[in-house]
Amino acid sequence: MSSRTERSAPDALAEAVAEPLTVLRWGDGAVRTPLQVAREVPIAFEYNGISHAVMLATPADLDDFALGFTLSEDIASRAEFYGVEPQTADLGITLAIDIAAAAFMRLKSRRRTLAGRTGCGICGTESLDQVLRPLPDLSSIGVRVSAAALARTYASLHAHQPLQQATGAAHAAVWCDVDGSILRAREDVGRHNALDKLIGALVAARTDTARGYALVTSRASVEMVQKAASVGIAVLAAVSAPTALGVQIATRCGQTLIGFARGAEFCVYSHPERVVA
């Protein structure tokens, strides 16, 4: 599907990834009510013809998803990612991804099995060193974020969530400039998937990730921290809380981690020097 950065047709987007359903709504009695239900589709990641993982995800922004997942899972670099061809079948969608031979050899040596991953970011990882992998040092990135900017982002977040508006079942990951304006947004039924799609969109557009920050509508687990850090995002804000391991890894790699970012009040868990009044 096409990119939806500018949100030119949010209604059409929601219709493409949601299905109509009539439900029995209870309140003052029971009333049959039409609703929209978010689509959740098995999406297989296939690298150089070999199956790697199957994700349950929203079938939108698949090019971004393929690139973002490949980068954030450290499967291949941007230069080693040659392209993707989505292939639709009755049971789901296969992303046929072409990567460099060297990246493919590294991937085969890891032997990861991630079937069905939606809520868990590291299911199927076979060793501890694959869980807490090396990350870039973000400590020298000098971006600054104000409380007013974070409040501005949260205030405008709803307008960038057409699938959430239609169904109530989607997470979002958004990219913002230092003034708090949302420049790019991606949605998915899975929080990891939404962030992967955003990462893919940012890298495809050659966005300078040292000049803004990301906000996610979920908790900030260690996997979310690692995915953001892997592409140089030095400030990650979440509308819910981080985990202790997420805070530990953010501190270690020089990332500013913000939780409960729901307006002008929030908590800064690591590297508070980037947050200003």
Active-site amino acid positions: 120
Mean pLDDT for back-to-back runs of 10 residues, the chain (277 residues): 43 73 93 95 97 95 98 97 97 97 92 49 54 91 98 98 96 98 98 98 98 98 97 98 97 98 96 97
Backbone angles phi, psi at 49, to 5 degrees: 85, 0
Crossing angle of the two packed helices 222-230 and 191-204, in degrees rounded to 10 = 10
Are 174 and 155 in contact, with CB atoms under 8 Å apart? no
Class of domain 41-131: alpha beta
From 3.90.1580.10, 3.40.50.620, 3.40.140.10, 3.40.50.720, which CATH number describes the 145-276 domain?
Answer: 3.40.140.10
Predicted pLDDT of residue 132: 80
pLDDT score for 46: 97
Query: What's the pTM value of the predicted model, to 2 decimals?
Result: 0.90
- Looking at residue 28, its pLDDT comes to 86
pLDDT at 2: 37
User: What is the DSSP code string of 116-184?
Assistant: TBSS-SSTT--SHHHHS------TT----EEHHHHHHHHHHHGGG-HHHHHHS--EEEEEEETT--EEE
Domain ranges of the chain: 41-131, 145-276
